[in-house]
Structure 1
Amino acid sequence: MEKSKVYFTNLRAKPGENLLQKLDKLVRAAGIENIDFNKKFTAIKIHFGEPGNLAYLRHNYAKVIADLVKSLGGKVFLTDCNTLYVGRRKDAIEHMEAAYENGYSPFTTGCHVIIADGIKGLNEVNVPINGEYVKEAKIGAAIMEADIIISLNHFKGHEQAGFGGAIKNLGMGSGSRAGKMEMHSDGKPFISAKRCISCGKCASICAHSAISFPEKKAKIDTDKCVGCGRCISVCPVDAVKPDYGVSVESFNCKMAEYAYAVVKDRPSFHINMLIDVSPYCDCHAENDLPLIPDVGMFASFDPVAIDAACADMANKQPVIHGCALEQESGDHFNHMHPTTDWRGCLVHAEKIGVGTMDYELIEI
């Protein structure tokens, strides 16, 4: 396989050329205009940020891409799927409110926000991939209905994946609640009996009659439970918990296979912003001091190559004094999260045909 081209621009700006103009120039140089957008539904897959977190990408970047797609005739929308954990993005109503609160609205971005897996996280499409870990990926319906996928990614640390970039945004981010459950867990949800108030909402939404109430507390029959995670979102007191018991290898490989399900058989384009590199995911309702200085913006047709390029570039940077990362050199993401192995995700993604880790970096 020949090297994939990854285009890069730094964050230097001067009168007459601001960062938004540089982003537009970057993606054009990377070939985004070669995609036929005319009358095509185009999903910009993004993370809107958990309210309280200030490291997520500004909406201004999304507007640059949305305006460009519209100028090329595309029908563009911003999208993400609901979360598995209970926060401000666990259902479509709260998720959209969180997006608006963080600056993502039709008025600021020029396009609509659509939560891909619906109000309760149940709108999904089973995508057959017959992978080593996943046979059918459960992807948010609106993402699978799009003709073209653009991932706009904040490259940062992650406590389970090592880092989050294009593959994580595409894979984990596009999974429905059941899909996220499959990637995060080799098990089933469980009930915190101390929190349970026996309201019955979890049982009413369970399609497999897996929940009963012995001793007036909910209990999940794991033989009947299929791990869809629907019960998690409806519990008013957060008594239903996902089981995050999954190996690092399994987690990363499942995420790669979900990303494959999203990009296969249709055009895709990927943009990574190596800025505000916080130690943890933007799903946190807070963000710590960045680990490294801001680096730049990257664009490519290859989501594996762009993540590999960002990881390499990030690991060449000095550590910011006073941040959570104590070691000064080497693999910053592994040092920050020693139990993770980010390379495993990219290796598996390359193996199944998502892209290649062998890249040529072209500076614009």
Structure 2
Amino acid sequence: MEKSNVYFSDFRVGPGSNLLIKLQKLCKAAGIQDIDMDGKFVAIKMHFGELGNLAFIRPNYIKAIADMVKEQGGMPFLTDCNTLYPGSRKNALEHLDCANLNGFNTITTGCQIIIGDGLRGTDDISVPVANGEYVKEAMIGRAVMDADVFISVSHFKGHEMTGFGGAIKNIGMGCGSRAGKMDQHSSGKPLVDPELCRGCRRCARECGSDAILFQNNKAIIDQELCKGCGRCIGACAFDAIGVPQWDAGEVLGRKMAEYTQAVCAGRPCFHISLAMDISPNCDCHGENDAPILPDVGMFASFDPVALDQACVDACQRQAPMPNSQLADNLAQAGWHCHHDHFKDSNPNVRWKETLEHAEKIGVGTREYELVVV
């Protein structure tokens, strides 16, 4: 497979321009205007952020993208699918309220919001996965698949389960209905090390399945109730919770790649990632820790695999931010340095396998040419 082009702009601007103009210039240089959008429904897949989280992409950027779609005659709508955990996005009504409270509405973005898998997260469609090894049919939100054109806009950041959250995470996991998310998470369910558990109960507050009980002030996870979503792992400050199945993270990443294949196959797609406010964990958290890396820039490509690889490479070249989860870990006595910012931030993650599998099944290529705009 030939190298894919990934287009890049940093966040430097001077008088007479701004970042929104720069983002539009980047997308046009990357070829977004080559997509026939005239009279077509265009899904803009994004993450509206959990209430209390402030690291998500600002609505101003989304409006700049929606405006380009409308200039090309397209009919854009913003979309995401419901979550497994409680939070503020577990059904369409709360999801829409959350989006509005975080600044996403018709005034700020210039387009409507449609929750991809409906009121209860059950409005999905089974989509065959070409070359799927783990998933033969992906359960995708119906509104996502009803669109003629698909655009992903990702906040590139760290992630406690998948190493980083970029295009593949945003598309594969984000477009899965609740059944689809359960399917992707089902390979590994966490267990608690009682010697490390402090009984703080933060994990139970994060659990959306009421699967965490306490005996003698130690957490116990009911494996029958657990959905395997991993929120408890990210919630634990004492590394007391982990997945005993060694390949669980690897399988999760490969399933996300196969869900991405299902979403993108057979229609025009375009992908944008903003590597800024690079928090150590997912925007699904009701908080965001300090960035682990400085802001890097904006990336765009027709290839989501090349896009993620370019974002990873750019992040690995950055110096860790002081007073961050990454810097604190590296400063620990006896810390085993992985020379990988995402593994050093969240040591149990496996992210390379996701990109390798995505390339293997034909989602894209990790080989890219970086074009600076």
Letter in 2 for 1:174: C
Is 1:349 the equivalent of 2:358?
A: yes
Letter in 1 for 2:285: H
Task: Provide the C-alpha distance between the structure 2 equivalents of 1:10 and 1:186, rounded to a whole number of angstroms.
Answer: 38
Q: Between the two proteins, what is the percent identity of the paired residues? A: 56
Contact 1:166 1:270 in 2 (8 A): yes
Find the counterpart in structure 1 of residue 197 from structure 2. none
User: 1:192 offset after TM fit, Å?
Assistant: 4.3
Contact 1:162 1:342 in 2 (8 A): yes
Is 1:28 the equivalent of 2:28?
A: yes
User: 1:281 offset after TM fit, Å?
Assistant: 0.2
Task: Provide the C-alpha distance between the structure 2 equivalents of 1:75 and 1:344, rounded to a whole number of angstroms.
Answer: 36
For structure 1, list consecutive stretches of 5 or more residues without a partner in the other structure: 196-218, 230-242
Q: For residues 95 and 22 of structure 1, do their structure 2 counterparts lie closer, same or farther at Cα, with a shift above 3 Å needed?
A: same
Contact 2:187 2:252 in 1 (8 A): no
Task: Provide the C-alpha distance between the structure 1 equivalents of 2:158 and 2:361, rounded to a whole number of angstroms.
Answer: 24
User: 1:220 offset after TM fit, Å?
Assistant: 11
**Structure 1 SS opposite 2:174:** helix
- TM-score (normalised: structure 2): 0.83
* Residues 264-313 of structure 1: per-residue CA shift (max 9 Å, x gap): 01110000001000000000000011011101000000000010000000
User: 1:248 offset after TM fit, Å?
Assistant: 1.1
User: 1:331 offset after TM fit, Å?
Assistant: 1.0
Q: For residues 190 and 90 of structure 1, do their structure 2 counterparts lie closer, same or farther at Cα, with a shift above 3 Å needed?
A: closer
Find the counterpart in structure 1 of residue 325 from structure 2. 324
Contact 1:77 1:113 in 2 (8 A): yes
User: 1:186 offset after TM fit, Å?
Assistant: 3.1
* Residues 165-197 of structure 1: per-residue CA shift (max 9 Å, x gap): 0000000000000000010113799764979xx
* Residues 307-333 of structure 1: per-residue CA shift (max 9 Å, x gap): 000000001001111111133883100
Which aligned segments of 4 or more residues in structure 1 are displaced greater than 2 angstroms?
Answer: 186-195, 219-222, 243-246, 326-330
Find the counterpart in structure 2 of residue 279 from structure 1. 280
Task: Provide the C-alpha distance between the structure 2 equivalents of 1:3 and 1:105, rounded to a whole number of angstroms.
Answer: 38
Find the counterpart in structure 1 of residue 271 from structure 2. 270
Alignment of 1:200-349 (within 5 A): 247-326=248-327, 327=330, 330-349=339-358
**Structure 2 SS opposite 1:291:** coil
Task: Provide the C-alpha distance between the structure 2 equivalents of 1:193 and 1:12, rounded to a whole number of angstroms.
Answer: 47
Contact 2:162 2:253 in 1 (8 A): yes
Count of residue pairs brought into register by the alignment: 325
Contact 2:188 2:249 in 1 (8 A): no
Task: Provide the C-alpha distance between the structure 1 equivalents of 2:174 and 2:272, rounded to a whole number of angstroms.
Answer: 15
Contact 1:186 1:245 in 2 (8 A): no
Task: Provide the C-alpha distance between the structure 1 equivalents of 2:294 and 2:87, rounded to a whole number of angstroms.
Answer: 29
Task: Provide the C-alpha distance between the structure 2 equivalents of 1:74 and 1:30, rounded to a whole number of angstroms.
Answer: 18
Contact 1:92 1:120 in 2 (8 A): yes
Find the counterpart in structure 2 of residue 206 from structure 1. none
Task: Provide the C-alpha distance between the structure 1 equivalents of 2:150 and 2:160, rounded to a whole number of angstroms.
Answer: 26
Letter in 2 for 1:322: N
Contact 2:270 2:301 in 1 (8 A): yes
Contact 1:191 1:220 in 2 (8 A): no
- TM-score (normalised: structure 1): 0.85
Find the counterpart in structure 2 of residue 211 from structure 1. none
